[in-house]
């Protein structure tokens, strides 16, 4: 590979993704607000930037993998942001979970600069990112998607295209996270009902994940919930609350009631109030145990 990719955001997800692009043969320039998090990539051959604009090549490709809307706006639109340095023909691949509204804004601003914004949020935990097993929802300009396809192929096991409107991919992403959180709540309630009736939680998990719900989400999160073992942390309750609130904001905008999402927001907020902000989001099921009077 001769193309150089800029990568911004080296957290639990971004770091293994950037490493996989290095392994795929791409030249890399990396930036993270906490510069110490760039060291692993630098040791592996990437070049470090001390500001977001440092990782941008004129007409090049930049990937962002950030925590929220505010972080994406800061690295894109700030004084040292990437947008004014990307130049015509450049592509910004946003793989973050952000609001559909911000995706619309970003796509418009990039088009005004003569470059492209491709939304490509991912499904998968850090271990899936490391194993190149992410699922990717993409949306954006057709030619831009064609150009970045080899990059996305190096990061995941499958890509689903949702058209030219970047916001579509983010609607899909927050909807998926809503479904995952809903499954965790449902498993927490079901396993707790069993436990209070003297049924072993792990036995219920084995039955359901081998029959009715034999799928990755129920198997991976169900095991944590059944065993009440929520380590290691892959995605925090604080970030989950942000995503569920994005769902509620989007639902309100299009007048689509989502009562379960409201319950999940309160469930997560309650967990955070109990000091679980940085715990794994599957620990939202501890709220069910709290309600049921189980230590």
Q: Is 24 exposed, middle or buried (0-12, 13-18, 19+ CB in 10 A)?
A: middle
Active-site residue numbers? 173
Q: Where are the beta strands (DSSP E) in 42-101?
A: 47-48, 61-64, 91-94
Strands 116-119 and 27-31: unpaired
Q: Report the C-alpha gap between 141 and 166 in whole angstroms.
A: 8
Q: Report the C-alpha gap between 190 and 225 in whole angstroms.
A: 10
Q: Kindly report whether the peptide bond that precedes residue 232 is cis, defined as omega within 30 degrees of 0.
A: yes
Backbone angles phi, psi at 93, to 5 degrees: -100, 110
Residues 6+ positions from 280 with CB-CB distance below 8 Å: 224, 230, 231, 232, 233, 234, 235, 236, 237
Backbone angles phi, psi at 65, to 5 degrees: -135, 90
CA torsion through residues 239, 243, 244, 245, sign: positive
Backbone angles phi, psi at 160, to 5 degrees: -115, 125
């Amino acid at each position: 590979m001769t193309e150089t990719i800029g990568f911004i955001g080296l957290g639990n997800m971004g770091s293994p993704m950037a490493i996989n692009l290095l392994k795929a043969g791409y030249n890399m320039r990396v930036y993270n607000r906490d510069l110490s998090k760039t060291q692993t990539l630098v040791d592996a051959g990437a070049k470090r930037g001390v500001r977001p604009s440092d990782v941008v090549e004129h007409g090049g490709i930049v990937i962002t993998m950030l925590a929220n809307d505010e972080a994406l706006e800061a690295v894109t639109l700030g004084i040292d942001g990437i947008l004014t340095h990307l130049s015509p023909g450049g592509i910004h691949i946003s793989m973050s979970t952000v609001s559909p509204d911000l995706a619309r804004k970003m796509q418009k601003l990039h088009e005004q600069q003569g470059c492209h914004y491709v939304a490509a949020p991912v499904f998968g935990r850090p271990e899936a990112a490391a194993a190149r097993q992410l699922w990717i929802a993409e949306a954006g300009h057709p030619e831009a998607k064609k150009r970045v396809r080899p990059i996305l192929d190096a990061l995941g096991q499958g890509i689903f295209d949702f058209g030219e409107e970047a916001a579509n991919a983010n609607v899909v992403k927050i909807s998926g996270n809503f479904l995952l959180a809903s499954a965790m709540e449902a498993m927490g309630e079901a396993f707790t009902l069993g436990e209070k009736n003297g049924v072993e939680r792990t036995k219920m998990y084995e039955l359901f994940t081998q029959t009715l719900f034999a799928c990755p989400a129920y198997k991976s999160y169900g095991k944590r919930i059944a065993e009440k073992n929520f380590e290691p942390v892959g995605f925090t309750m604080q970030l989950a609350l942000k995503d569920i609130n994005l769902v509620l904001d989007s639902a309100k905008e299009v007048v689509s009631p989502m009562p379960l999402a409201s319950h999940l927001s309160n469930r997560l907020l309650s967990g955070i109030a109990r000091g679980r902000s940085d715990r794994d989001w599957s620990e939202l099921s501890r709220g069910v145990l709290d309600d049921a009077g189980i230590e």
